[in-house]
Amino acid sequence: MKFCSACGAPVELRQPPDDNRLRHVCTICTTIHYQNPNMVIGSIPEWEDGRILLCRRAIEPRHGLWTLPAGFMENGETTSAAAIRETLEEANARIAIGELYSMYNLPYINQVFMLFRARLLDLDFSPGAESLEVELFEEQDIPWDELAFRPVSLTLQRYFAERKAGNMQFHMDDLEAPARPAKLSETAIPSIIAATNQ
Ligand SMILES: [Zn+2]
């Protein structure tokens, strides 16, 4: 942040009185601009036969890779409403929302990722503006090497394992920044390697 959204003056990093960290503070009107993590909310839409709905991304980051429908929560919205909206926007798919299944803290990018179990209500889905393709996958057909985000691949792995075991439970985990491969500039990086660098 460079400028104050209240008055347009420059901001500077300063520790306000009674605070314990640096904030962007306006040099003129002294407004403190707090910045907090973003919530990424999505669903795991399951059809009657057990197949799972995935979307192939038409946007960056991870253009061309597959993901569960998910996106940033909006102000004034509940988490389950966000999951329903994102599924509708990205896959034109209607779901009945189920239990919260996954929550990943990603402190290195200031994100919290949450995925709900969901029942796909009909087969009348199609790519939304942010998707190239939308498709139902059985476990053995999941494009494991072409998944866009770690919370998505970790969630799907656990989902199929627990479903098989008949013991599906909410799980929370903390992810650290992945190690980046050396010599990025010297090699052509397949999209698949780039995808692991979340
Ligand atoms: Zn200001």
Distance 72 CA to ligand 1 centre (A): 27
Reply yes or no on whether the pLDDT at 82 is more than 90.
yes
> Does residue 38 sit in helix, strand or coil?
strand
Reply yes or no on whether the pLDDT at 183 is more than 80.
no
Distance 1 CA to ligand 1 centre (A): 12
Q: Using the CB atoms, write b or e for 45-75: b if 16+ within 10 Å.
A: bbbeeebbbbbbbeeeebeebbbbbbbebee
Reply yes or no on whether the pLDDT at 150 is more than 90.
yes
Distance 153 CA to ligand 1 centre (A): 43
- The residue-averaged pLDDT of 1-11 equals 96
